[in-house]
Amino acid sequence: MKNHPTESIQNTSPRYHRLRKDGLYHPIPFLFVTDRMCDDILDEREMLLASLPTATHDRQKALFAGNDPRASSKAFKHLLRRFGYPFTNRLTA
């Protein structure tokens, strides 16, 4: 039986980034980003950086810096609060 603890399993098709022709990943912009989605995006970025050669890390980090999922998540929460989320059950008062 084969032991797999040292193998690195890479996701072949990222959910939140597109592969460019130069081998780097471009973030897909989303209007609404939930907390869980933000965590998933940040985890995917770490995985993508780990899969790239170290010579390209600075260029890839610059691409990631152009789209901050934390800021999008924070803006989405403020939008929800503006409309009264979490919604209370107004029928049982």
Task: Give me the pLDDT at residue 93, please.
Answer: 47
Task: Give me the pLDDT at residue 5, please.
Answer: 57
Tokens of 30: 């989303």
Task: Give me the pLDDT at residue 11, please.
Answer: 56
93 within a domain of the structure (yes/no): no
Domain encompassing residue 67:
17-82
Asked if residues 16 and 27 have their Cβ atoms less than 8 Å apart, the reply is yes
If one counts the domains in the chain, the total is: 1
Looking at per-residue pLDDT, the higher value among 18 and 3 belongs to 18
Q: Residue written as tokens 């209007």? A: 31
Taking only the tens place, the pLDDT of each residue in 32-91 is 999 999 999 999 999 999 999 999 999 999 999 999 999 999 999 999 999 888 766 555
92 within a domain of the structure (yes/no): no
